[in-house]
Amino acid sequence: MKKIALIGECMIELNGEPFGNMYQTYGGDSLNTATYLARISQSEQLDVHYVSVLGEDKLSQRMREHWQQDGIKTEWVLTDTERQPGLYLIQLDSDGERTFLYWRNQSAARYLLQHADYPKVFEQLKSMDMVYFSGISFAILPENDRTLFIEQLRELKQSGVKIAFDSNFRVKLWDNLAQARQYYEALLPLIDIALVTFDDEALLWGDNDEQETINRLQSFAIPLIVVKQGKQGAVFCQQGQQTFVPTTPVEHVVDTTSAGDSFNAGFLQGYLLGKDLIRCCQQGNQLAGIIIQHKGAIIAPEATATLRCQFNDTQS
């Protein structure tokens, strides 16, 4: 039995046009990954834990219930009696590309490390095979908590826990590029698996191509680097060897929200179960290809149900 804990924030999602057709659901990069990872995994093979904070409101209660229905273990989702989840609005263009508006400055998850019960959760994280977080999980933290989180990652790594990281850079969560780069440079030497999207890396670091991204990440001695390239596929680098894994084109893209998050879920499921890295990337590509044909970060379980059997077939 492998165990992974994913740390981050889930928000209330509004999807559609203001003053027009709109529906409410929920999403957040690390929660999206946790959801799809739990859905495609057999419970006897993989424990998927989520680490976050929700409020006492009814929306928080319903989100927790949905996560449990998807197979996510929520005993480390803490409760804040004073704050509620953040909110975001997705607007889509004709190609399925999205823009976001956020209301999250006082979200409960932002104060995870300050919660009275968090030290107990952190001690439990030392028993995990892997801990996963993203640049968003990190950026929403108050500045003092970011420093503490880096120290805790170092402690987890020393305990033998593998650290997986999706850089998921968002400009609006940082004061400036210099601040973000400084923090990322402190994080990256602690990372065992970097799951990055080239567009994010280009925005943060000014990379001109994927090779420049790989070279820079290698300078931090990261054992496994995966660069997601959208509709083209992904390239991974391990021990200096690079392999490109193409994806199957999707004819009708509805919504690219959660594409990278779902890729991470497919990849990590394969990795934790000991599959070869090409197969891990293929799983990530396949899962993401389904997600982008539906609207919203979290799509109906029926859309990915067949992958549970495919990805857990010992002959695959």
The active-site residue, picked from 29, 80, 255, 261, is 261
Contact 135, 185 (CB under 8 A): no
Catalytic, 129? Answer: no
Contact 2, 273 (CB under 8 A): yes
Give helix 277-291 / helix 259-272 axis angle, nearest 10°: 150
Residues belonging to the active site: 261
